[in-house]
Chain A
Amino acid sequence: MNQVPLSHILFVSTALFFIGMYGLFTRRNMITMLMSVELILNSVNINFVAFNKYLYPDKLEGVFFTLFIIAIAAAEAAVAIAIIINLYRNLHSIDVEATDEMKF
Chain B
Amino acid sequence: MPNYAYIVLIPLLPLAAFVLLGLFGRRYFRRSSGMIGTALLLVATGLALWVAYGYFFDWGKLNGAYQRIIALDAPWLSFSPGLSIDMSIVLDPISVMMIVVVTFVSLMVHIFSLGYMKGEERFATYYAFLGLFTFSMLGLVLSGNIFETYIFWELVGCSSFLLIGYYYDRPTAVAAAKKAFIVTRFADLGFLIGILILSFHAGTLDFRMLIQRLTEPGPQLASITGASFLGISLLSWGLVLVFVGGAGKSALFPLHIWLPDAMEGPTPVSALIHAATMVVAGVYLVARLYPVYAYAGPAVLNVVLYVGALSAFLAAIIACTQTDIKRVLAYSTMSQIGYMMFALGTWHRGGEAAGLGYTASMFHLFTHAFFKALLFLCAGVIIHRVHSNEMKDMGGLRRLLPLTHGCFLIACLAIAGVPPFSGFFSKEEILLAAWHANKLVYGIGLFTSGLTAFYMFRLYFSVFWGKEGGESGHLAGGAGSSAGHSHDRHSEGPVSMKIPLVMLALGALFAGFVPFSRLVTYNGRPEETHGIGVFAIAPVTLALVGVFIAGFMYRKEGDRPARAAAAFGGLYRFAYHKFYIDEIYSFITKKIIFNLIGRPAAWIDRNMVDGVMNLLATVTARISAGIKGFQSGKVQDYALYFFTGIAGLAVLFIYIYT
Contact B639 A25 (CB under 8 A): yes
How far is it, in angstroms, between the C-alpha of A51 and the C-alpha of B631 when the chains are bound?
A: 39
Contact A103 B636 (CB under 8 A): no
Contact A103 B643 (CB under 8 A): no
Instruction: Determine which of B628, B629, B633 lies in contact with A99 in the assembled complex, contact meaning CB atoms within 8 Å.
Output: B633
Contact code string A64-104 (vs B, CB < 8 Å = 1, else 0): 00000000000000000000000000000000110111111
Main secondary structure of the interface of B (DSSP, over half): helix
Residues of A within 8 A of B629 (CB): 104
Residues of A within 8 A of B62 (CB): none
Instruction: Determine which of B632, B639, B640 lies in contact with A100 in the assembled complex, contact meaning CB atoms within 8 Å.
Output: B632
Q: Is B1 on the interface with A (CB-CB < 8 A)?
A: no
Contact code string B627-658 (vs A, CB < 8 Å = 1, else 0): 01101111110011001000000000000000
Nearest B residue to A102 via CB reads: B633
Residues of B within 8 A of A103 (CB): 631-634
How far is it, in angstroms, between the C-alpha of A25 and the C-alpha of B636 when the chains are bound?
A: 6
Residues of A within 8 A of B634 (CB): 96-97, 100, 103
Q: Is A63 on the interface with B (CB-CB < 8 A)?
A: no
Residues of A within 8 A of B640 (CB): 25
A73 to chain B, nearest CB (A): 17
How far is it, in angstroms, between the C-alpha of A101 and the C-alpha of B631 when the chains are bound?
A: 11
B637 to chain A, nearest CB (A): 9
How far is it, in angstroms, between the C-alpha of A38 and the C-alpha of B640 when the chains are bound?
A: 17
| Interface residue tally for chain A (C-beta within 8 Å) | 11
Q: Is A24 on the interface with B (CB-CB < 8 A)?
A: yes
Q: Is A21 on the interface with B (CB-CB < 8 A)?
A: yes
Main secondary structure of the interface of A (DSSP, over half): loop
A58 to chain B, nearest CB (A): 27
Residues of B within 8 A of A96 (CB): 634-636
Residues of B within 8 A of A25 (CB): 636, 639-640
B96 to chain A, nearest CB (A): 76
Instruction: Determine which of A97, A101, A102, A104 lies in contact with B628 in the assembled complex, contact meaning CB atoms within 8 Å.
Output: A104
Nearest B residue to A28 via CB reads: B636
Nearest B residue to A25 via CB reads: B636
Nearest B residue to A96 via CB reads: B635
Contact B631 A24 (CB under 8 A): no
Residues of B within 8 A of A104 (CB): 628-629, 631
Residues of B within 8 A of A21 (CB): 643
B647 to chain A, nearest CB (A): 10
How far is it, in angstroms, between the C-alpha of A102 and the C-alpha of B631 when the chains are bound?
A: 8
Contact A24 B633 (CB under 8 A): no
How far is it, in angstroms, between the C-alpha of A45 and the C-alpha of B629 when the chains are bound?
A: 36
How far is it, in angstroms, between the C-alpha of A102 and the C-alpha of B638 when the chains are bound?
A: 12
How far is it, in angstroms, between the C-alpha of A31 and the C-alpha of B437 when the chains are bound?
A: 108
B654 to chain A, nearest CB (A): 15
A10 to chain B, nearest CB (A): 15
Nearest A residue to B629 via CB reads: A104
Residues of B within 8 A of A100 (CB): 632-634
Nearest B residue to A30 via CB reads: B635
Contact B639 A24 (CB under 8 A): yes
Contact code string A10-34 (vs B, CB < 8 Å = 1, else 0): 0000000000010011000000000
How far is it, in angstroms, between the C-alpha of A103 and the C-alpha of B633 when the chains are bound?
A: 4
Contact code string B22-43 (vs A, CB < 8 Å = 1, else 0): 0000000000000000000000
A50 to chain B, nearest CB (A): 19
Nearest A residue to B627 via CB reads: A104
How far is it, in angstroms, between the C-alpha of A25 and the C-alpha of B635 when the chains are bound?
A: 10
How far is it, in angstroms, between the C-alpha of A72 and the C-alpha of B633 when the chains are bound?
A: 26
Residues of A within 8 A of B633 (CB): 99-103
Residues of A within 8 A of B636 (CB): 24-25, 96
How far is it, in angstroms, between the C-alpha of A103 and the C-alpha of B634 when the chains are bound?
A: 8
How far is it, in angstroms, between the C-alpha of A33 and the C-alpha of B21 when the chains are bound?
A: 76
How far is it, in angstroms, between the C-alpha of A25 and the C-alpha of B640 when the chains are bound?
A: 8
Residues of B within 8 A of A99 (CB): 633, 635
How far is it, in angstroms, between the C-alpha of A25 and the C-alpha of B638 when the chains are bound?
A: 10
Residues of A within 8 A of B631 (CB): 102-104
A30 to chain B, nearest CB (A): 9
Contact code string A33-44 (vs B, CB < 8 Å = 1, else 0): 000000000000
Residues of A within 8 A of B635 (CB): 96, 99
How far is it, in angstroms, between the C-alpha of A100 and the C-alpha of B631 when the chains are bound?
A: 10
How far is it, in angstroms, between the C-alpha of A102 and the C-alpha of B632 when the chains are bound?
A: 8
B109 to chain A, nearest CB (A): 69
B223 to chain A, nearest CB (A): 66
A19 to chain B, nearest CB (A): 14
Residues of A within 8 A of B632 (CB): 100, 103
How far is it, in angstroms, between the C-alpha of A21 and the C-alpha of B639 when the chains are bound?
A: 10
Residues of B within 8 A of A101 (CB): 633
B5 to chain A, nearest CB (A): 70
B396 to chain A, nearest CB (A): 85
Residues of A within 8 A of B643 (CB): 21
How far is it, in angstroms, between the C-alpha of A97 and the C-alpha of B30 when the chains are bound?
A: 72
How far is it, in angstroms, between the C-alpha of A21 and the C-alpha of B640 when the chains are bound?
A: 10
How far is it, in angstroms, between the C-alpha of A102 and the C-alpha of B637 when the chains are bound?
A: 13
How far is it, in angstroms, between the C-alpha of A16 and the C-alpha of B520 when the chains are bound?
A: 107
How far is it, in angstroms, between the C-alpha of A33 and the C-alpha of B633 when the chains are bound?
A: 17
B622 to chain A, nearest CB (A): 15
Nearest A residue to B630 via CB reads: A104
Contact code string B353-364 (vs A, CB < 8 Å = 1, else 0): 000000000000
How far is it, in angstroms, between the C-alpha of A99 and the C-alpha of B638 when the chains are bound?
A: 13
Contact code string B617-633 (vs A, CB < 8 Å = 1, else 0): 00000000000110111
How far is it, in angstroms, between the C-alpha of A82 and the C-alpha of B640 when the chains are bound?
A: 24
B237 to chain A, nearest CB (A): 63
How far is it, in angstroms, between the C-alpha of A24 and the C-alpha of B633 when the chains are bound?
A: 16
Nearest B residue to A37 via CB reads: B639
Nearest A residue to B643 via CB reads: A21
B636 to chain A, nearest CB (A): 6
B294 to chain A, nearest CB (A): 77
How far is it, in angstroms, between the C-alpha of A101 and the C-alpha of B640 when the chains are bound?
A: 18
Nearest B residue to A103 via CB reads: B633
Nearest B residue to A100 via CB reads: B633
How far is it, in angstroms, between the C-alpha of A25 and the C-alpha of B643 when the chains are bound?
A: 11
Residues of A within 8 A of B639 (CB): 24-25
| CB pairs A–B below 8 angstroms (12 shown) | A25-B636, A25-B640, A96-B634, A97-B634, A100-B632, A100-B633, A100-B634, A101-B633, A102-B631, A103-B633, A104-B628, A104-B629
B residues contacting A by CB (< 8 A) are: 628-629, 631-636, 639-640, 643
A residues contacting B by CB (< 8 A) are: 21, 24-25, 96-97, 99-104
| Besides A99-B635, A104-B629, 8 new A-B residue pairs in contact (Cβ under 8 A), listed by A number | A24-B636, A25-B640, A96-B636, A100-B634, A102-B631, A102-B633, A103-B631, A104-B628
Q: Closest 10 CB pairs between A and B?
A: A103-B633, A100-B633, A104-B628, A102-B633, A104-B631, A96-B635, A103-B632, A100-B634, A103-B631, A25-B636
